[in-house]
Structure 1
Amino acid sequence: MDIFSFISLFGGLALFLYGMSLMSQGLEKLAGGKLEGILKKMTSNPVKSLFLGIGITAVIQSSSAVTVMLVGLVNSGIMQLSGTVGVIMGSNIGTTVTAWILSLVGIESNNVWIKLLKPESFSPILALIGIILMMSSKTSKKKDIGSIMIGFAILMYGMDFMSDSVSPLADMPEFTSMLTAFTNPLLGILTGLVLTAVIQSSSASVGILQALTLTGGISYGMAIPIIMGQNIGTCVTALISSIGVNKNAKRVAVIHIAFNLLGTAVCLLLYFVLHFLVDLSFIEQAISPVGVAVVHSIFNITTTVLLLPFSKQLVKLAEGTIKTEPEKEIAFLDERLLKTPSIALQECNHITTDMAYVSKQSMMDAMDLLFSYNEKKAAGVKDLEGEVDIYEDRLGSYLVKLSGYDLSDTDSKQISKLLHTIGDFERISDHAVNVMQAAKEIEEKKAPLSPEGLAEIKVATAAIREIMEIAIKAFDENNLELAYRVEPLEQVVDGIIEGIKLNHINRLQAGKCTIQQGFVLSDILTNYERVSDHCSNIAVAMIELSKSAFDTHEYLDKLKTMDDPEFRKMFTEYKKKYAI
């Protein structure tokens, strides 16, 4: 074995890791936000969480990525600590899928159908189909499928490179003598741990072990402890990801480490006891890639079966290890979620919806103050506006970072929608503060609006309440039918405000209102009009982006001509409902 064998080995490892990364990204993009939705629904009990962990890890082909994602979700306050236990256990089982795929490398047969199962036979076909899909497809879904196929082909070629590079070791007596050191189980565990910790991928380290088994020099007795160590080594990624997060998120890493350490300790004890009581003659036999996959699966399934009933105890252990209670604050997204962009985007959408409802509440409370002033509620409006400002600042920064990642067309449009709308939600809360200050001025100066003016403001307030309800519900539910109802009502609100202003001038001339009352009324109406405009912006962003376009002026110009009979019908209904 010469220097070129080592170059091939490391080159094969590089191809393997790149192929796995490419395949994982493609699978994750193809699954999109479905992963996040399933994650929230199925973490209600450990058994559901277990199958969820198996499924997600089988899809994105990385238990480390799943654990990092869990740390991010818990750190953001999106997920409870107890819901992560089953997912972590399931991810260990899910990662064995990779080992089974890689075991195809060791297939030996002259049968044409069996030979087709060998990676060197079908990988070129997959690569060809994949590149055709990537270069000729117009839809992101087909391109993602192509990316998955190419990633898988590269992964298998990397495995083949590694296998070929280590094949000369079979004839080297030095290699055989070196392997005798691995008959010590503790040294084998340490080797698996260090190898996995260095390359931060248990799938890759298992792949290297499977490549080495093709030399015929690795026995079951050597491989079993190494596989155990590999499961501990994969915890390093979770440990690194827990740096700088809140206490609850650190507990996720503690659960992951505790599960793998306890599982290894129990399985190692069972291994020794069985070896002592029963003659395990097979442990001296050479292990194959399939044998590695079998041992890997048995180990992870056994540890899960043994420890799943003690899920609550694992949570208590984590809470006992990290004792300080996490600080309560507004939940915000963790940058670790950027490793799975579609999930990060779905959480951005949820948090933007939370922002929308906080913004709406601030305006609702501010309008209440016009009719019944309360100092405590006025202070609350100011607090809500501050909260919305934080939402805008952090969400905006996060979305800009997220937009730099490789996203599907659907996800890119979703980011555009969020970036267009968070500013509107923030401005609504600003107008709420302005309305609150107008109410405060009325209270402090003892200058209430005239009965006629107050009655008209009540009509305008009712219209503003409805337009906010429609716009925010449409955004929350992504309901385009509701979004189409916003603009007719916005046009009616504009008419109401113009009507109130004209009526006020008439009352002023008749001596029924004062100029001071006029200033306050004008402030209220200006802010109402702006809120109505922002609701229109939100609805238009939804409608235009659903058409893969964003030309607000063209869309509004078409509506204002009243050529659309449906628009005209809704406009007439709202005009009748909110007549002054």
Structure 2
Amino acid sequence: MIYPVTAAAIVSLCAASSVSAQASGRAEGIDWITLAMGAIGGLALFLYGVDILAGSLKQAQGGRFQRLLERSSSNRFLALGAGTAATIALDSSSVVIILLIAIVDAGLISFAHALPMILGANIGTTLSSQIFAWNIDTYAPLPIAAGLLWKASAKTDAARRNATILLGLGLVLFGLNIIGTAAEPLKEHAGIVAWLRGLENPLLGVLAGALVTIAIQSSSAMMGIVITLAGTGVITLPAGVAIMLGAEIGTCADTLLATLGRSRAAVKAGIFHLLFNAGAVLIGVLLIDQLAQFGAATAQDTGQRIANAHVLFNLAGALIVLPFVGAIAILLERVVPGDRSGAELVTPTQPSGQLAS
């Protein structure tokens, strides 16, 4: 669902752009009305596409992947893979982690068994970045047209859901294409370029990435916008990497909200997600030059470089923390005690390579 805060964020961004233009006194040939209309339309279409894509995928695949997560919970490596696979299929790490919180809250698995899956969700979300970086938004009208025709001729609910998934994907890509086209003139505007270069300061970039991600409620959406703007030359590699790190913080907002009113076990799963992402971002800020260098060494396009840095950041973080999830679970047990009713699952000792609470 696209909340009112998203609309407020769009209006604020457009207002800030207008004030910046007026203050500089240099329009530099930019038609600000046309640019603002393109940005608003593209962003609205993009967010609507994300909304219907996530909802349709959850309807079509949510139950199947809930069972996968439950079956894979006892082995940390299977759990990591299950979290990754579910996120790729559902196209949202937030949806998967919220699903995990619900599963833990229901007592189907212990919160300790959910931790590797949360790490896997962070890996899975990097696929979206790669897709955005492949510049396939040029062909967005094709899935839109195919989805509409399929939906019009569909005879079953399953077929209509699949058609909606295809339509949602097309709208996401088409929205990104509009945003990129609208933003093209900005790279020639000295004031805007100077402001965006200010985001190369890691703290400012992280803050901007976190706030916008909270506003639009999707780290994948944030990465899509950043990669698209980077591909047009509006955002530089250092600024893009900093914003990417901020998006990792902002995505925790949804999962923390999902823990409200839940059991202590579910709360601990949400706390782990926040602490892991915050700790990883702190290290990422210290190593931001190395992340940018990795991106520069693996691609020519700036958007692809940011996407590659995103993969390295999340993959390395998950693999480094995976061996220690058992110890982290014990620590969280002490910091956040279980429910007084003792309703949390008691996890038996598992063979080597599996989790123990």
Same topology, TM > 0.5 = yes
Q: Contact between 1:197 and 1:236, CA under 8 Å: does it hold in 2?
A: yes
Which of 268, 288, 291 does residue 285 from structure 2 map onto? 268
TM (norm. structure 1) is 0.51
Q: Contact between 1:20 and 1:152, CA under 8 Å: does it hold in 2?
A: yes
Distance in 2 between residues matched to 1:61 and 1:282, nearest whole Å: 26
Q: Contact between 2:207 and 2:246, CA under 8 Å: does it hold in 1?
A: yes
Aligned to 2:19: none
Task: Give the direction of change, closer, same or farther, for the CA distance of 1:265–1:287 in structure 2 (3 Å limit).
Answer: farther
Post-superposition shift, 1:282?
4.7
Distance in 1 between residues matched to 2:130 and 2:84, nearest whole Å: 14
Structure 1: 4+ residue segments shifted above 4 A: 278-283, 328-331
Which of 275, 285, 308 does residue 258 from structure 1 map onto? 275
Aligned to 1:323: 337
Aligned to 1:124: 141
Q: Contact between 2:230 and 2:237, CA under 8 Å: does it hold in 1?
A: no
1:99 aligns with 2:129: yes
Q: Contact between 1:217 and 1:286, CA under 8 Å: does it hold in 2?
A: no
CA deviations 1:110-133 (Å, max 9, x no partner) are xxxxxxxx3333x22222222222
Post-superposition shift, 1:294?
0.9
Distance in 1 between residues matched to 2:111 and 2:293, nearest whole Å: 43
Which amino acid in 2 is paired with 1:222?
A
Post-superposition shift, 1:286?
8.7
Post-superposition shift, 1:179?
2.2
Task: Give the direction of change, closer, same or farther, for the CA distance of 1:39–1:6 in structure 2 (3 Å limit).
Answer: same
Task: Give the direction of change, closer, same or farther, for the CA distance of 1:37–1:11 in structure 2 (3 Å limit).
Answer: same
Post-superposition shift, 1:301?
0.5
Post-superposition shift, 1:326?
4.9
Mapping of residues 353-502 of structure 1, within 5 Å:
none
Task: Give the direction of change, closer, same or farther, for the CA distance of 1:218–1:308 in structure 2 (3 Å limit).
Answer: same
Secondary structure at 2:199's aligned position in 1? helix
Post-superposition shift, 1:209?
0.7
CA deviations 1:21-51 (Å, max 9, x no partner) are 2222333333353222211111112211111
Which of 310, 326, 337 does residue 296 from structure 1 map onto? 310
Mapping of residues 157-172 of structure 1, within 5 Å:
157-172=174-189
CA deviations 1:189-222 (Å, max 9, x no partner) are 1111111112110011111111221331422222
CA deviations 1:147-182 (Å, max 9, x no partner) are 111111111111111111211101100012112322
Distance in 2 between residues matched to 1:178 and 1:291, nearest whole Å: 21
Mapping of residues 498-537 of structure 1, within 5 Å:
none
Distance in 1 between residues matched to 2:210 and 2:340, nearest whole Å: 31
Aligned to 2:260: 243
Task: Give the direction of change, closer, same or farther, for the CA distance of 1:262–1:317 in structure 2 (3 Å limit).
Answer: farther
Aligned to 2:20: none
Which amino acid in 2 is paired with 1:9?
A
Aligned to 1:76: 106
Secondary structure at 1:33's aligned position in 2? helix
Q: Contact between 2:338 and 2:344, CA under 8 Å: does it hold in 1?
A: no
Aligned to 1:49: 79
Aligned to 2:58: 28
Structure 2: runs of 5+ lacking an equivalent: 1-29, 346-357
Secondary structure at 1:79's aligned position in 2? coil
Q: Contact between 2:219 and 2:250, CA under 8 Å: does it hold in 1?
A: yes
Q: Contact between 1:232 and 1:257, CA under 8 Å: does it hold in 2?
A: yes
Secondary structure at 1:7's aligned position in 2? helix
Distance in 1 between residues matched to 2:295 and 2:131, nearest whole Å: 27
Task: Give the direction of change, closer, same or farther, for the CA distance of 1:310–1:150 in structure 2 (3 Å limit).
Answer: same
1:204 aligns with 2:221: yes
Task: Give the direction of change, closer, same or farther, for the CA distance of 1:313–1:146 in structure 2 (3 Å limit).
Answer: same
Secondary structure at 1:101's aligned position in 2? helix
TM (norm. structure 2) is 0.81
Task: Give the direction of change, closer, same or farther, for the CA distance of 1:324–1:81 in structure 2 (3 Å limit).
Answer: closer
CA deviations 1:551-571 (Å, max 9, x no partner) are xxxxxxxxxxxxxxxxxxxxx
Distance in 2 between residues matched to 1:227 and 1:90, nearest whole Å: 18
Which of 218, 236, 244 does residue 219 from structure 1 map onto? 236
Distance in 2 between residues matched to 1:235 and 1:100, nearest whole Å: 21
Which amino acid in 2 is paired with 1:302?
A
Task: Give the direction of change, closer, same or farther, for the CA distance of 1:330–1:184 in structure 2 (3 Å limit).
Answer: closer
Task: Give the direction of change, closer, same or farther, for the CA distance of 1:316–1:197 in structure 2 (3 Å limit).
Answer: farther
Which of 134, 142, 146 does residue 163 from structure 2 map onto? 146
Q: Contact between 2:128 and 2:220, CA under 8 Å: does it hold in 1?
A: yes
Mapping of residues 57-76 of structure 1, within 5 Å:
57-76=87-106
Task: Give the direction of change, closer, same or farther, for the CA distance of 1:327–1:149 in structure 2 (3 Å limit).
Answer: same
Aligned length, in residue pairs: 314
Which amino acid in 1 is paired with 2:203?
L
Secondary structure at 1:245's aligned position in 2? coil
Post-superposition shift, 1:287?
5.6
